[in-house]
Structure 1
Amino acid sequence: MTLYARFAAHLDAVLDQLVADGVLPEGLERRNVTVEPPRDPSHGDLATNAAMVLAKPARTNPRALAEAIAAGLEKLDEVASVAVAGPGFINLTLTDATWREELRAITDDGDEYGKSAMGKDVTVNIEYVSANPTGPMHMGHCRGAVVGDALANLLEFAGHKVVREYYVNDAGGQVDVLARSAHLRYREALGEDIGSIPEGLYPGDYLKPVGQHLADEYGDQYVGKPEGEWLALFRAEAVAAMLKMIKSDLALLGIHHEIFASEAELQKAGKPEAAEKWLREHDLVYDGLLEAPKGETPEDWEPVELPLFRSTKFGDDQDRPIKKSDGSWTYFGADLAYHYQKAQEADQLIDIWGADHAGTVKRIVAAVAALTEGKTRFDVKLIQMVRLLRGGEPVKMSKRAGNFVTLADVVNEVGKDVVRFTMLTRKADAQMDFDFAKVVEASKDNPVFYVQYAHARVASLKRKAAEAGIEGGDADLSRLDTEELALVKRAAQFPRVVEGAASAREPHRIAFYLYDLAADFHALWNLGNDQPGRRFVVADDPDLTRSRLFLADAIGQIIRNGLGIMGVRAVEEMH
């Protein structure tokens, strides 16, 4: 059990005793009671709001309750002192021995340090990327891909069972456009001069190999034939080729989905009909007149009776159609059925969407709440756009893609680790600039470099110790002083950062934490620039060196664990 979890348990035991003594009533809700670092480190090592949270429901004075809780906590061997501040905040200062033991725990737990059981027996389905299968991945898809994959890693690290899913939108008009574009390239492969690509078709060169494959496979049998004879076949062939390309692009980022769910197969299997039937049985779908779109006058609008989902019952501003006037499913109707299917297999659902889908969040959240009767937690994480720059100037588009910069081009230039880390250096809902010059810059202002450099420095210490003739052995951690133990205190926050990030569905918190940990490590390292006795390797003091190497190894372990969640390698050397 890590330090913060242990002290949460200590606090629970103190509160249980106060209940037994009649100071607190039984049954008080403790969910909002926290044990965390105080905002001001001068106030101590840990702080709890227990008295502030429990005093009102217990009908007692928060300051008096804080004094009673403090008296119980003072009895712990790990506690050096307890102070009650203001109206009832409780601050604890721990013994140095406690921090040294936590340092050993980091090393003993190794790759397991920071893992949590908070997600035990909970299955989470994360759907991310889900780009239309009409071309290669571009940087508009990249950020959502990285955030979704890192979130999947994070939730697994926090004990959840995670299913990574990609929803293939292969039932809409865009795949018919893809099929027509492939047919054009098919005719080109057979020697026809197709001229410039007509408006409305996909212009990218990435369809040339698809056209060549179709020409090799079918010869000229579909040249000059009516669209009805080849559209379905070319659609299936082109979608399959695009999915192969998409999977290859995602693999460059180390991303692999367990499930690729087809919208076309979903509809073929009658899933939307099943969802509609269930909703009608629960009076959540009715046949009604669709309201005129906002901004339209009544003269511009012809009322049409359609099956409408009662999304207003769940906070939406109007009820939403699940079918079009021609009887085909709306995108929302198909999406609703897809989420109904996912909810059969998972306890919680997460969708990673581009910010341009913000307007549809409320209705799909309403649909999932209805279909699962409120039992399934469902989060939609919106991802803002990424602006590509080179030395501050916008990057030109890719000729191969036709009108965008491909993910593959970016990864091949700067590397997977740089792309993944950079995509997690801002909150997902904040816009991001990705400057090719800055993301490879060797400076403190580049978080990717700064964290990787900290790990490389840790790795270099064994070499430095060997050069100084210092061999391994038991580390006397009593040699670590206040400044070094301050680094342990930062390191010990990792497990609670993991749980907080997992609960909030915010993997960027791991990147932020690693940057702070790296900054503290570099600051301690840099003390040795002017004070030789502060260096990690002190040639004439092997015992001190071993204790500092023990500390550095623990910091390296946490950096590896954190980078592992982010899907980023921890490098041994910087070149």
Structure 2
Amino acid sequence: MNIYNEFKTLIVQALAALAADGAIPAGLDTSKITVEPPRDPAHGDMATNAAMVLCKAAGMKPRDLADQLAARLMTLDGVDSAEPAGPGFLNLRIARGLWDRALRSALQAGASYGDSQMGGGEKVNVEYVSANPTGPMHVGHGRGAVFGDALAALLAKAGYAVTKEYYVNDAGAQVDVLARALHGRYLVACGAISQAEFDRRLEAKEYQYGGDYLVETAEILKSRDGDRWVAADEAEWLPALRAFGISEMMVLIKQDLLALGVEHNVFTSELGLVQAGQVAKAKEALETQGLIYTGVLEPPKGKLPDDWEPRPQTLFRASQFGDEVDRPLQKSDGSWTYFASDIAYHHDKYVRGFNQMIDVFGADHGGYVKRMQAAVKALSAGTAHLDVKLCQLVKLMDNGEPVKMSKRAGTFITLREVIDHPGIGKDVFRFIMLTRKNDAPLEFDYAKVTEQSKDNPVFYVQYAHARACSVQRNFIEAFPDADVSAEALAGADLSLLADDDEVGLMKLIAAWPRAVEQAAESHEPHRLAYFLHDVASAFHALWNKGREHTHLRFVEAGNLPLSRARLALVWGMVTVIASGLSVFGVEAKKEMR
């Protein structure tokens, strides 16, 4: 049950009735009407912008239209008052019984509370992480992994058919760099060169990857192949070590993802697309639309990108689709650019039936957004949409001090090191990553995220769930023969919940389905973290209120009807917390230790 959607429907019906009476024009576009809680609860239970968004098309002053709509709504059951405010907003107060009905709906729905059919089963592809297969994941990858995973779960809850995808960048020059560094570690493992010689070559930039993780990989290679590649020419060992290195790095990456609770549905290989001729096919698809030409681009300001040349190249008319300039697909030597492979990948998604695509990139890929959106528009003739979400960097701290670099990775802190840090684990990491909007910087302080206080959002929310479970245990102890099933609680006499804060929590519980739909529509799962914090805060306030005023305690000995009603309220809160944490991939704890 989404009580806000129900009232939007009632408002649209009221407008239709006004049109039938000739009070307003027929056929007004009602798609931009919203119904939401007012910013100030003193103004009522709900506010709608209907008069504001329709007044121009109706040829009326907003306040006049609001007055007519208010009069019509006041004839409906469940509407206690409808008061125009300001330039044309309409504030509603609704009957208490509707909030009771919303709470019963939450209890009956259980874990599915907040599920929506908004998406209508539309296919959505969410591509996230897609770290280069050159080493273990770092904490920045972890933020993108959590964001993408939570967004996919959120969209699924909102009724979309979601595919979670990882794009393996295994065709670029970076995998050759990996293979050469692996070969150096392999030579050390075989005794062909000393560690000092490897370090000298690393210092001289002959090797660009020096992390200790390649020591393990080289030992595995030596166990498999012996000294086969020691005296071999580079032309012979490079492709073999490239394939081996990619395979082993993807094992590491998948292990890191699994430790974070992330599993993808599909892994797509860039090399596989290239070898299957998909890049050429994507180019042909653009050529048939007259969007490919040969030309020389002006040099960009600042640092020159890898794909710019002062010679004729094969160019895509990206500027026709919102990009600043046209973009090269092939260099003067005929080799494909990175962009060409990425176009082929998105063309492959489109061919697979995805008109809705979401890419989760690191903040350093901001300059790539417009060109990819231009390519998707061109390839789909405007029928497909690409939303690119950029994840800002994570600043790792410990008691306010920056965390030192990892020896294992060499130049960065691995994701696994953070997850395995005492007191953290995947749940803490995942929740904290979602406490800020994806494009806002985030500070992750080991000390703060592990402390048990109201200043730690993951503890605060999980503690609310655990406290609620203790309320249930206290209820069972006080009334051992009472039924505590969701069905029984849904049948409680909720009119006994008379305190303003009890009703306030009930209204928050009723707002959960709306919060899910809004977060899904905006592709912003962090909104749910804020909502869960608000729900937990309202519950903790009630708990503390009961400690000060014994008549407001959740379990009142000898008063089964009131205790059952309050347990129903508490369990409605549990339903929201559990529903939200499931979207985040975080455990709803029954006890805190």
TM-score class, shorter: over 0.9
Kindly indicate whether the alpha-carbon contact (under 8 Å) linking 2:146 and 2:433 is maintained by their aligned counterparts in 1.
yes
DSSP 3-state at the match of 2:125: strand
1:574 alignment partner in structure 2? 592
Aligned: 1:155 with 2:155: yes
| Residue ranges of structure 1 left out of the alignment (5+ in a row) | none
Q: What is the one-letter code of the residue matched to 2:425? A: G
Which amino acid letter does the alignment assign opposite residue 529 of structure 1?
A: R
Name the counterpart of 1:101: 101
Which of 273, 276, 279 lines up with 2:280 in the alignment?
A: 273
Q: Within 5 A, what are the aligned runs for 1:118-197?
A: 118-192=118-192, 193-195=194-196, 196-197=198-199
Q: Which residue of 1 is the match for residue 487 of structure 2?
A: none
Distance 1:56 1:295 in 2: 48
Q: What corresponds to 2:486 in structure 1? A: none
Matched residue SS, 1:60: coil
Task: Decide whether aligned partners of structure 1 residues 530 and 121 sit closer, same or farther in structure 2, where only a CA change above 3 A counts.
Answer: closer
Superposed displacement of residue 559, structure 1: 0.4
Counterpart code for 1:310 = R
Distance in 2 of aligned mates of 1:59 and 1:454:
50
The one-letter code matched in structure 1 to 2:548 is D
Q: Distance in 1 between matches of 2:469 and 2:75?
A: 41
Structural mapping, 1:192-341, within 5 Å: 192=192, 193-195=194-196, 196-197=198-199, 198=202, 199=205, 200-295=207-302, 303-341=310-348
Structure 2 letter corresponding to 1:499? E
Matches within 5 A, 1:61-76: 61-76=61-76
1:302 and 1:526 map into 2 onto residues whose CA distance is 68
Q: Tell me whether 213-222 or 412-421 shows the greater mean CA deviation.
A: 213-222
Indicate yes or no: 2:433 matched with 1:423. yes
| 1:464-514, Cα deviation, whole Å (9 max, x unpaired) | 123334642552211101321111111111111111111110010111110
Q: Is the 8 A contact 1:187 1:194 kept in 2?
A: no
> C-alpha distance in 2, partners of 1:313/1:469?
71
How far did residue 302 of structure 1 move? 7.3
The Cα RMSD (Å) is 1.5
Aligned counterparts of 2:17 and 2:49: Cα–Cα separation in 1: 18
The Cα of 1:453 is off from its aligned counterpart by 0.6
- The 2-side partners of 1:101 and 1:8 are apart by 17
Identity of aligned residues (%): 52
Q: Secondary structure at the match of 1:26?
A: coil
Alignment match, 2:461: 451
**Contact 2:297–2:309 (8 Å) recurs in 1:** no
Deviation string 1:40-86 (CA, Å, 9 cap, x unpaired) is 11111011111111111011232222122112211222111111112
Query: Which residue identity does 1:369 align to in structure 2?
Result: K
Q: Is the 8 A contact 1:100 1:485 kept in 2?
A: no
Q: Give the drift of 1:561.
A: 0.3
1:475 aligns with 2:492: yes
Q: Distance in 2 between matches of 1:525 and 1:377?
A: 46
- 1:560 counterpart residue number: 578
Q: Separation in 2 of the partners of 1:469 and 1:12?
A: 47
When residues 462 and 296 of structure 1 are mapped into structure 2, their CA distance, relative to the original with a 3 A threshold, is: closer
Deviation at 1:190, TM superposition (A): 2.1
Q: Distance in 2 between matches of 1:269 and 1:302?
A: 27
Q: TM-score, normalised by structure 2?
A: 0.94
**388, 393, 407: which is aligned to 1:399?**
407
| 2:33 match: secondary structure | coil
Matched to 1:393, the amino acid is E
For residues 214 and 265 of structure 1, the distance between their equivalents in structure 2, rounded to whole angstroms, comes to 23
Q: Is this contact kept in 2: 1:204–1:399, CA < 8 A?
A: yes
1:464 alignment partner in structure 2 = 474
Question: How far, CA to CA, are the matches of 2:475 and 2:127 in structure 1?
Answer: 47
Distance 2:62 2:365 in 1: 46
Question: Is the CA contact (8 Å cut-off) linking 2:476 and 2:482 kept in structure 1?
Answer: no
5 Å-filtered alignment, 1:348-427, equals: 348-413=356-421, 414-427=424-437
- Superposed CA offset, 1:343-393 (max 9, x none): 222120000001111111111111111111111121000100001000000
Higher mean C-alpha deviation, range 213-222 or range 38-47: 213-222
Mapped partners of 1:453, 1:66: distance in 2: 44
Asked if structure 2 preserves the Cα contact closer than 8 Å seen for 1:321 and 1:330, the reply is: yes
User: Secondary structure of 2:345's partner?
Assistant: helix
Could you list the per-position Cα deviations for residues 190-214 of structure 1 after superposition, in whole angstroms to 9, with x for gaps in the alignment? 2332424323331111112221222
1:514-560 deviation line (CA, Å, top 9, x unaligned): 00111111111110121111111112322211110010001001100
Name 1:490's counterpart in structure 2. 508
Pick which of 98-107 and 284-293 moved more.
284-293
- Which AA in structure 2 matches 1:224? A
Q: Can you list the C-alpha shifts for 1:296-319, whole angstroms capped at 9, x where unaligned?
A: 99xxx9731111111111222211
Question: Contact between 2:2 and 2:511, CA under 8 Å: does it hold in 1?
Answer: no
Q: What letter corresponds to residue 369 of structure 2 in structure 1?
A: V
C-alpha separation in 1, matches of 2:311 and 2:303: 15
User: 1:470, 1:539 within 8 Å by CA — same for their partners in 2?
Assistant: no
SS in 2 for 1:357: helix
Partner of 1:437: helix, strand, or coil?
Answer: helix
Paired residue type of 1:476: D
Q: Residue 223 of structure 1 aligns to which amino acid in structure 2?
A: V
CA distance in 1, matches of 2:345, 2:3: 42
Which amino acid is the alignment partner of residue 98 of structure 1? L
- Distance in 2 (alpha carbons) for counterparts of 1:427 and 1:231: 42
3-state secondary structure, aligned to 2:131 = coil
Report the CA distance shift for 1:295/1:453 in structure 2 as closer, same or farther (over 3 A): closer
Partner deviation per Cα, 1:80-136 (whole Å, 9 max, x = no partner): 111111232111111111111111111011122111111113101011001100001
* Residues 6-33 of structure 1 deviation map (CA, whole Å, 9 limit, x = unaligned): 1111112111212222222222111111
Moved more, 301-310 or 243-252: 301-310
Structure 2: 5+ residue stretches without partners? 484-490
- Give the letter for the 2:234 counterpart: E
How far is the alpha carbon of 1:265 from its aligned partner?
0.8
The TM-score with structure 1 as length reference comes to: 0.97
Tell me the residue number matched to 1:434: 444
Work out whether residues 501 and 538 of structure 2, in 8 Å CA contact, stay in contact via their aligned partners in 1: no
